[in-house]
Chain A
Amino acid sequence: MSQFFTKSMARNIFYGGTLFSVLLFLALTFHTTWKVPQRSNAANLTEQVARGKHLWETRNCIGCHTLLGEGAYFAPELGNVYKRRGDAFIKVWIKAQPTKVPGRRQMPQFNFTDAQLDDLVAFLKWTSEINTENWPPNVEG
């Protein structure tokens, strides 16, 4: 093969192939970012939802939970927790942590104010309404 296929040919295929892939990926990305506002109901993305996301991040929730299937696999999926448990349960649950049941996985107490809990729930509600192509398969996440 060495006579017919030289290093410079291989290099040119690399440049060409990479350029093609980059352009294809950018085109799809362009179209996706155009579609995202509609698929994520961006009109409902209020200040409160944004504050909730900030709380989600600064408490490192992703270090135990998954959100739309991404994160750690130590604790339940929360992308659809709003649909699974509802507003009131989520707040009571967060307030009741840690359960201190011996041997059970424990969640820290974050000492949220009521307003912060509202923000967090607003974020989880908004997240649960994203068009995820019907994932997860059922409400258990």
Chain B
Amino acid sequence: MQLLQYKSQAVAKPYFIAAIGLFVGQILFGLIMGLQYVIGDFMFPAIPFNIARMVHTNLLIVWLLFGFMGAAYYLVPEESETELHSPLLAHLMFWIFLIAGALTIVGYLSVPYASLAEMTGNNLLATMGREFLEQPLPTKLGIVVVALAFLYNIGMTILKGRKTAITIILLTGLIGLAGFFLFAFYNPSNLVKDKYFWWWVVHLWVEGVWELIMGAILGFVLIKITGVDREVIEKWLYVIITLALVTGLVGTGHHYYWIGAPGYWQWWGGFFSALEPLPFFAMVVFCFNMVNRRRRQHPNKAATLWALGTAVMAFLGAGVWGFLHTLAPVNYYTHGTQITAAHGHMAFYGAYVMVVLTIISYAMPILRGREVNPERAQVLEMWAFWLMTVSMVFITLFLTAAGILQSWLQRIIPNPQSFMQVQDQLHIFYWLRELAGLVFLIGLGVYLYSFFAKDKPQTVEVSEPAPTATVASQPATT
């Protein structure tokens, strides 16, 4: 049986594999940093904290981009009902992106950052050394080339085929992603301007156009696993992304409170960003609604779990934990503390890690020549879901506790204490965070193993037949 509707969808597979591989690297470096928080000189000077952090965050960004590209290559041919414009170009870009990414990480780890900057032409155009945009100039240019080739490939495919709301929204998000990245090349010597437009990459990615990509991926998976009418799902999608952009664009202002921009941003940023939980809340309602109204019982239970989990965790991490410290009078005390770290962890995991794992969960079995994974593999994958998700909740809770105490001791009490004095009192939370991180690693191990798990040979008769896609006799109602 031919499972892939279009042969060229197969180019997604290496993208997903690379994404998972880099994910593992990201977590290992996260654990190193977690330990450095309590054993300050751990691995120093071989891997100083700033290097480990750069590897941790850059790997995250790169593997999510691999995931997004894989998702696009998988879903666009199916949505457009045509083969991908150029599978060859997609393969080529895969290797360019992977090699550029690997070289960048090797550069971070083997050469002092200042020498790396010198070697790679940072003196010609200084773009390095800003949070998340640490990549050397050739890497940044490589990202632009890969992004353009990717957009061309996806764009041509969409143009020649059927245009659906999902592909249009996905393409809009991807164009925005590439477009806003160009601000990575703008680095004025005025720090305030630098910071102001730095957020046009960082915030307008994660609280702007990435939400479009996320919505499109979730929408696609939901159509597939629930069989709900496309019209309904696409209408919801438009509502969600409207909320995302209307709140998220001016919501950028919540980063402009204390960096030298005018004080009115406390009102503009506060008001609009306080509404940023709305699109995520709508996503929760949307996902549960669609799954409840499902017209088929899809046998990929793991993918359904990931889809619902994405909505819930994105709402908690991006929505609730974002709201906690988004209003200026609160942010005045919490800005740049562990509260920010707590929010960052759960938001990235809940929204973007999980949505990529959702599409991988749905598409990877098909790419590997079966409709769904064997039962035992799915059970393991669901164990991995719970281990990783619950440990991320605990990482967030411990960092939140640390952040509250930090704000209190360093910024609120009458005799505020110094940064390091305060840090020394937070060790218990950092240890617990590291412990939760280890559980996350175990979950990740289970996740990896689930790809290779086969059903044990059955020795007893089972009463239920192996699950297959069937139309539910009684459509569930709410």
The chain A residues found within 8 Å of chain B, CB to CB, are: 2, 5-7, 10-11, 13-14, 17-18, 20-22, 24-25, 28-29, 31-33, 35-37, 39-40, 42, 45, 49-50, 53-54, 56-64, 66-77, 98, 100-108, 110, 126-127, 130-133, 135-138, 140-141
Q: List 22 contacting pairs A-B, 8 Å CB cutoff, sorted by A.
A: A2-B235, A7-B235, A10-B239, A11-B238, A17-B242, A18-B249, A31-B262, A32-B261, A40-B191, A57-B129, A58-B129, A61-B50, A67-B191, A68-B191, A68-B259, A69-B335, A70-B255, A106-B44, A108-B45, A108-B48, A130-B192, A137-B412
Chain B residues 28 to 78 lying within 8 A of chain A, measured CB to CB, are 33, 36-37, 39-41, 44-45, 48-51, 53-54
Which residues in A have their C-beta under 8 angstroms from that of B134?
60, 63
Q: B97: CB under 8 A from chain A?
A: no
Q: Which of B3-11, B337-345, B454-462 contacts A (4 or more CB under 8 A)?
A: B337-345
* Closest chain A CB from B195 CB (angstroms): 7
Which residues in B have their C-beta under 8 angstroms from that of A57?
117, 126, 128-130, 187
Q: Is B129 a contact of A25 with CB atoms below 8 Å? A: no
Q: Is B416 a contact of A54 with CB atoms below 8 Å? A: no
Most buried by A among B44, B54, B262: B262
* Closest chain B CB from A7 CB (angstroms): 4
Which residues in B have their C-beta under 8 angstroms from that of A102?
41
Q: B101: CB under 8 A from chain A?
A: no
Q: Place the interface of chain B in its size category.
A: 35 or more
State whether A42 and B258 are in contact (beta carbons under 8 Å apart), knowing that A5-B235, A21-B249, A77-B336 are contacts in the complex: no
Q: Is B189 a contact of A45 with CB atoms below 8 Å? A: yes
What are the 4 A-B residue pairs with the smallest beta carbon separation, nearest first? Answer: A63-B50, A57-B129, A69-B336, A105-B40
Which residues in A have their C-beta under 8 angstroms from that of B131?
62-63, 70-72
Q: Which of B81-89, B297-305, B313-321, B417-425 contacts A (4 or more CB under 8 A)?
A: B417-425
Report the Cα distance A2→B45, complex, angstroms: 62
Q: Is A36 a contact of B263 with CB atoms below 8 Å? A: no
State whether A140 and B189 are in contact (beta carbons under 8 Å apart), knowing that A25-B252, A105-B40 are contacts in the complex: no
State whether A58 and B249 are in contact (beta carbons under 8 Å apart), knowing that A7-B238, A36-B260, A50-B189 are contacts in the complex: no
* Closest chain A CB from B60 CB (angstroms): 14
Q: Is A69 a contact of B239 with CB atoms below 8 Å? A: no
Which residues in B have their C-beta under 8 angstroms from that of A72?
49-50, 53, 131
Report the Cα distance A53→B194, complex, angstroms: 11
Interface SS of chain B? helix
Which residues in B have their C-beta under 8 angstroms from that of A22?
249
Q: Is B332 a contact of A63 with CB atoms below 8 Å? A: no
Q: Is B245 a contact of A18 with CB atoms below 8 Å? A: yes
Of all chain A residues, the one with the shortest Cβ separation from B230 is: A7
State whether A74 and B37 are in contact (beta carbons under 8 Å apart), knowing that A10-B238, A110-B114, A135-B257 are contacts in the complex: yes
**Contacts A2-B232, A137-B412 known; 8 new A-B pairs at CB < 8 A:** A7-B235, A17-B246, A28-B253, A29-B196, A63-B54, A72-B49, A133-B263, A140-B411
Q: Is B113 a contact of A59 with CB atoms below 8 Å? A: yes
Report the Cα distance A21→B252, complex, angstroms: 11
Point out the residue from B54, B126, B196, B333 that lies within 8 Å of A32, measured CB to CB. B196
State whether A106 and B45 are in contact (beta carbons under 8 Å apart), knowing that A10-B242, A74-B53 are contacts in the complex: yes
Report the Cα distance A35→B50, complex, angstroms: 33
Report the Cα distance A29→B249, complex, angstroms: 11
Q: Is A73 a contact of B49 with CB atoms below 8 Å? A: no
Q: Is A105 a contact of B117 with CB atoms below 8 Å? A: no
Q: Is B238 a contact of A70 with CB atoms below 8 Å? A: no
